[in-house]
A and B are shown apart, each in its own frame.
Chain A
Amino acid sequence: MAFNTLTEVQEQLREGKLTCSALVEEHLKRIEENQHLNAFLEVFAHDARSRATVIDQKIKRGSSGKLAGMIIGIKDNICFKGHKVSASSRILEDFTSLYSSTVVDRLLNEDAIIIGRLNCDEFAMGSANEFSAFGPVKNPLDNTKVTGGSSGGSAAAVAAGLCHVALGSDTGGSIRQPASFCGVVGLKPTYGRVSRHGLIAFASSFDQIGPFATSVEDAALIYEVMAGADEYDSTASQREVEKTDFSATSDKPMRIAFLKDALTDPSLDAEIRERTQELISQLQEKGHTVEGVSFPWMDYMVPVYYILTTAEASSNLARYDGIHYGQRSEKATDLESTYKLSRTEGFGDEVKRRILLGTFVLSSGYYDAYYGKAQKARRVVKEETEKILADYDLILSPTSPHTAFELGKKQLDPTVMYLEDIFTVQANICGNPAVSLPLGKHSNGMPFGIHLMGRAWDEKTLLEFSAQLMNNN
């Protein structure tokens, strides 16, 4: 029962050859068979089955929504009313959300079925999904390898066919990098495109929710249903969401830039470099203009990212205090010990590291030197990137310097992991939309992604060209 796009599924549903109930059973079975991946933290079997019955009725009546037949998994930092959500953290282990995120409401309104919540790095902080309080996620293509992170569960679930599409969140590459490691499509929309209401906040001015899918078309469909103004998120844009049109085959020659400094980065795997250069040649042969541009700020992007995101996170995570909800330490005897013990017991090491760093860069006497500077550097990176995109339609690069690495590799230096984000953070620093397309296969057997970043609010160009690329490869 392998289908590539929702269109194929819906055709079968319409013709009565398939029912949502059957689809749900099939996916529940696959999930059961793939428990070793540890992708799902919780499966909403009962929910999914009841919904399927209802939607099957609607299909018969011809009143079903755009996403009828779509089985979706949501990252464990996206709220779903009446369901547990924990950000893969002990501190929220038994927490039940009182409301649904805007994205979940919109998807359910179009009759999608949410089959479960997906493992991730704790509070979305990580690049391998090894920082989850509930165990790492295994890469479906090679169980000894990581999935990437932080939306590791989401990437793995789609790669293993456990759900049709999955939602993740992307703050520095947390959708695109695991998409690259698992061989699926991962999209991060423009900052402000998709409402953050109901997304457990990591870094408020970086976070965006986005889809994982096996095709650009499905990713685009989910994105269009979720995107658009929301009164519950003041940072969400009022702008119209332009519809993508995949039916038109465009011969329009694109102007594509690649960052010379990215391709010469010493951390980049040789095969990935080669494949990227190969792709560049192919595109040039097709008549597109693909040119290398200088971007001397590569080395500054990840530091800027870490200063700003940890600062925002240190504040966003202050609410996890053991007082009104979440885990409270049994050893707490007064207010101070309630805070300290609950938070110390509840948060993992990576989260604590980032909270400390974030607290430091905002603290009295250091604000200007770190946070203030990073805000200015952010403006420089954004303006310089926009200059490039004024001249080119897209910026191309590999998504990640290498393919999925081995599970359990102990890092003595936390900053080594930070460089995983080197190609992806730019889109979050600037707020631009970006996608990882599974266009590479390494000789080591693992997939890798090609990364495209577009102009702000121009998901249409990005997605339409991405579909072309995918279909021609």
Chain B
Amino acid sequence: MKLTKEQVEKLAHLARLEFTEEQKESMLNDMDNILGFVEKINGLNLEGIDPLIYMSDEVNVLRKDEVKQETSKDDALKNAPSKDTDYFKVPKIINRGEE
């Protein structure tokens, strides 16, 4: 299938990526090639086949409800691009999203 520019823009937004007009054209082109390539699987008859989801056959891999302190507050904040002594900081959100 061929994607439209609007679809690429929507996907970019879903993935929080931004493209210039030129890059959008290029991405559109790439996506055309890629989709054309992956659509080969439409040649398969997959009637009545169950999807393969788990590559490991383990079940009930569970952990005891015990507290282990593995990371200090300073370590947690160590790699933060913007922070104060206690919090991660993000430039002000104007529109309240998910609560």
Q: Do chains A and B touch in the complex (CB under 8 A)?
A: yes
* Cβ contacts under 8 Å, A334 to chain B: 91-94
Supposing A324-B79, A415-B37 touch, asked if A431 and B50 sit within 8 A by C-beta, the answer is no
B37 in contact with A344 (CB, 8 Å)? no
Interface size range on A against B: 35 or more
Note all chain B residues with C-beta closer than 8 A to A379. Answer: 49-52
Q: Is A237 within 8 A of B58, CB to CB? A: yes
Give the residue name and chain of the A residue nearest to B75 (CB).
A98
Report whether A303 and B91 are in contact in the complex, using a CB–CB cutoff of 8 Å.
no
Is the C-beta of A372 less than 8 angstroms from some C-beta in chain B?
yes
A467 to B55, CA, bound (A): 28
**What residues on B are CB-neighbors of A382 within 8 Å?**
52
Contacts of B50 in A (CB 8 A): 376, 379
> Does B73 belong to the interface (CB within 8 Å)?
no
* Contact A306 B34, CB 8 Å, known A98-B75, A356-B15: yes
B85 to chain A, nearest CB (A): 16
Contact of A373 among B19, B30, B41, B58 (CB under 8 A): B41
Which residues on A sit within 8 Å (CB–CB) of B90?
323, 335, 338
B34 near A380 with CB under 8 A, answer no
Interface residues of A in 44-103 (CB under 8 A from B): 94-96, 98-99
From residue A82, how far is it (CB to closest CB) to chain B in Å? 10
A356 with B92: CB separation less than 8 A: no
Residue pairs across A and B with CB atoms within 8 Å: the count is 162
In the complex the two chains form, is B16's CB within 8 Å of A343's CB?
yes
Interface residue? A235 (CB, 8 A):
yes
B17 engages A304 (CB within 8 Å)? no
- Within B42-79, which residues are at the interface with A (CB < 8 Å)? 42-44, 46, 49-58, 61, 63, 70-71, 75, 78-79
Smallest CB separation, A71 vs chain B (Å): 29
Contact with A along B1-31 (1 / 0, CB 8 A): 0010001100110111111000000010011
Q: Which A residues are CB-close (under 8 A) to B80?
A: 324-325
Whole-angstrom distance between the alpha carbons of A303 and B35 in the complex? 9
**Which residues on B sit within 8 Å (CB–CB) of A307?**
38, 41
A259 interface residue per 8 A CB criterion: no
Inter-chain CA distance A175–B97, complex, in Å, is 42
A413 with B82: CB separation less than 8 A:
no
Binds B, one of A209-217, A347-355, A391-399, A436-444: A347-355
Q: Out of A318, A339, A378, name the residue touching B52 (CB < 8 Å).
A: A378
Contact B37 A300 (CB under 8 A): no
Contact B81 A327 (CB under 8 A): yes
Per the bound structure, the CA–CA distance linking A425 and B55 in Å amounts to 15
Residue numbers in A under 8 Å from B92 (CB-CB): 334
Which A349-406 residues sit within 8 Å CB-CB of chain B? 352-353, 355-357, 359-361, 363, 370, 372-380, 382
By the criterion CB–CB under 8 Å, are B91 and A375 in contact? no
Within 8 Å by CB of B49, from A192, A332, A380, lies A380
Closest to A369 in B: B42
- A325 and B79 within 8 A (CB): yes
- Whether B30 pairs with A191 at a CB distance below 8 angstroms is no
User: CB-nearest residue of chain B relative to A416?
Assistant: B33
Q: Is B84 an interface residue (CB 8 A)?
A: no
> A431 near B15 (CB under 8 angstroms)?
no
User: Is the Cβ of A328 less than 8 Å from the Cβ of B93?
Assistant: no
- A303, A332, A341, A374: residue with the most chain B Cβ atoms closer than 10 Å: A303
| Additional 17 contacts, C-beta under 8 A, given A370-B38, A373-B46 | A98-B75, A98-B78, A191-B55, A235-B56, A236-B58, A237-B57, A299-B43, A325-B80, A340-B16, A344-B17, A353-B34, A359-B11, A359-B14, A360-B7, A363-B11, A375-B51, A376-B49
Interface residues of A (CB under 8 A from B): 94-96, 98-99, 191-192, 205-206, 231, 234-238, 297, 299-300, 302-304, 306-307, 314, 318, 321-328, 332-341, 343-344, 347, 352-353, 355-357, 359-361, 363, 370, 372-380, 382, 413-415, 418, 431
